[in-house]
Chains A and B, each alone.
Chain A
């Protein structure tokens, strides 16, 4: 089954404790992206990747890092999480450019205390 998976689905952590949210897709998509969803703000793009070893900032990259060492994986790293990063995070992928239809993962709900 074609899908985008994220782990963990729920995470509670404390300020400053590094964490990684994994994202994996099995559709051989070149483009992958991370978004955060906050009430009233919709989804805002954090980072995106056009292909392996090619990443770029989205609209809200501060406090986040990403890597794309393999085509199927695109982890999101929070080196020192803060409470304002409490949010719902979605990973997405598409065939090539970001202008194609994106397929979303199930989301990761993060609470930073």
Chain B
């Protein structure tokens, strides 16, 4: 069974700091990769996704993620965070053409003003 690991459960940083959240998955075949974000009191929204092509993908609100196949990783980055980036971030993986989306445990990010 596929699994997804997010290395940090909680991250606290100040505005303008850079953010990187790690995500590793276990499935060895072709995968689709997602980062979802859940702002306080809101439902999950898609931040960005990778299906194929350029392994560096750009999402909304200045986020980007890099797919490194050899490392089974899909890390999320943002060069300069804002207070409004306070949220919980979830990495998710699906086998290409598969029916099950597997989520990581989530990382709570708190950005101090």
A residues apposed to B, CB below 8 Å: 31, 33, 35, 40-45, 48, 50, 56, 58-59, 90, 92, 97-99, 101-102, 104-107
Q: Please tell me if the beta carbons of A99 and B97 are within 8 angstroms of each other in the complex.
A: yes
A96 to chain B, nearest CB (A): 10
Q: Please tell me if the beta carbons of A48 and B43 are within 8 angstroms of each other in the complex.
A: no
Residue of B nearest to A56 (CB): B99
Residues of chain B in range 48-96 having any CB-CB distance to chain A below 8 Å = 49, 90, 92, 94-96
Report chain A residues within 8 Å CB of B43: 90, 104-107
Is B34 positioned at the interface, with any CB of A under 8 Å from its CB? yes
Report chain B residues within 8 Å CB of A102: 46, 101
Q: Please tell me if the beta carbons of A90 and B98 are within 8 angstroms of each other in the complex.
A: no
How distant is the Cα of A91 from the Cα of B49 in the complex, in angstroms?
20
Q: Please tell me if the beta carbons of B32 and A99 are within 8 angstroms of each other in the complex.
A: yes
B residues apposed to A, CB below 8 Å: 1, 4, 6, 9, 32, 34, 36, 42-46, 49, 90, 92, 94-106
A37 to chain B, nearest CB (A): 8
Q: Please tell me if the beta carbons of A101 and B46 are within 8 angstroms of each other in the complex.
A: yes
B68 to chain A, nearest CB (A): 20
Residue of A nearest to B1 (CB): A59
How distant is the Cα of A35 from the Cα of B36 in the complex, in angstroms?
14
Report chain A residues within 8 Å CB of B45: 104
How distant is the Cα of A45 from the Cα of B98 in the complex, in angstroms?
13
In addition to A58-B100, A59-B1, A99-B94, 19 A-B residue pairs with Cβ atoms within 8 Å of each other are: A31-B99, A33-B101, A42-B6, A42-B90, A45-B100, A48-B99, A50-B99, A59-B100, A90-B44, A97-B97, A97-B99, A98-B94, A98-B100, A98-B101, A99-B32, A99-B98, A101-B34, A104-B44, A106-B43
Report chain A residues within 8 Å CB of B100: 45, 48, 58-59, 98
A56 to chain B, nearest CB (A): 7
How distant is the Cα of A50 from the Cα of B100 in the complex, in angstroms?
11
